[in-house]
Amino acid sequence: MNYVVALDVGGTSMKGGLVTRSGEVTPFAGHPTERERGPAAVVAAIRAYVGELAGHGRARYGGEPSGVGLAVPGIVTSSMAVYSANIGWRDVPAEEFVPGDVPARLGHDVRTGGLAESVFGAGRDTADFLFLPIGTGIAGAVVVRGEPYGGVHGWGGEIGHTTVWPSGEPCACGQIGCLETYASASAVSRRYERRSGRAATAKEVVTLAASGDPAAREVFDEAIEALAISLGSYTLLLDPSLIVIGGGLGEAGAVLFDPLRERLAARLAFCEPPELRPSALGVHAGMLGAALLGWQAAGEPGVGADWTPERLLGAH
């Protein structure tokens, strides 16, 4: 048929959609992942949601989906969800997420978003870049020679847990001074509350910093400096042409990008900083990347090369 089912499975909710061969997207309201019910219930909930989306597809396009693509957290191969600390599953074959016998393909959540940014998003004109969504946590998709790279076991891209200040604050992961513990949205919010005694979201802290609130400025400055240190080291190690910033903080605009550009340049003495660019696909990157996986599962890996963010996201 002419469409695939695409699903982005996060720790709290899953976002699904139908995507045709020509890049027509029908997004659906998210469902809760309900990981507190245990891994078997999550697998059953995903399978049910895939079935529900296929039902919408039959109604709309008059036939079964050609494939199913799923972006999931943790350690993943294209045919197996190997492990997720977040959800708790181990070794779930791709077929278990799909009712019936439609071919399915899995991908790592962040790298699947990076795949979408690479094929038709902010990285479509380059083969070597970092996709860095900054949200509750921070993880990256290292795109090398045109393909997201996950290393030997699939742990690659954990830039949020690279060390920024070796004798700094303890991170929830058990390490010391990780990027994530200074620069994620939840870190910015938590650190502001600790310093000021007032609760605020990361977006509010950014606005407060811009309006001169001293505690907000300190916290935001430290987040920017942490990002600059980490992205400087990334640049020296992997010499990317581009860093694509996504997630909630990636939508902050010039208030984030301007000081980050300046600090990153200041950290690099002998090489040019790469361009910084906001994500083109925003929160839809994972689901749209999953659609590419769905078309790969269908045996049509070339589908998606001519999609554009405007066409994909225009209707939303």
Residues that bind its own copies (CB under 8 A): 85, 126, 128, 140, 142, 144-145, 149-159, 161-166, 171, 173-175, 225, 229, 232-234, 236-241, 267-271, 274
**Cβ 313 to its own copies shortest distance, Å:** 28
Please classify residue 60 by burial: count the beta carbons closer than 10 Å to its beta carbon, then call 0-12 exposed, 13-18 middle and 19+ buried: middle
Q: Which is nearer to its own copies, 104 or 142 (CB)?
A: 142
**Cβ 109 to its own copies shortest distance, Å:** 16
Q: Which is nearer to its own copies, 35 or 263 (CB)?
A: 263
Q: Which is nearer to its own copies, 173 or 199 (CB)?
A: 173
Sign of CA dihedral 197, 202, 207, 209: positive
Sheet holding 147-149, edge to edge: 147-149, 141-144, 129-133, 242-246, 275-278
Q: Which is nearer to its own copies, 17 or 259 (CB)?
A: 259
**Cβ 57 to its own copies shortest distance, Å:** 36
279, 122 Cβ separation under 8 angstroms: yes
Q: Which is nearer to its own copies, 43 or 238 (CB)?
A: 238
**Cβ 154 to its own copies shortest distance, Å:** 7
Q: Which is nearer to its own copies, 103 or 156 (CB)?
A: 156
Q: Residue 252 — φ and ψ, nearest 5°?
A: -70, -20
**Cβ 219 to its own copies shortest distance, Å:** 17
**Cβ 227 to its own copies shortest distance, Å:** 12
The CA-to-CA distance between both ends of the chain, in Å, stands at 24
Sign of CA dihedral 192, 196, 198, 203: negative
Q: d(Cα 57, Cα 129) in Å, to the nearest integer?
A: 34
Q: Residue 193 — φ and ψ, nearest 5°?
A: -60, -40
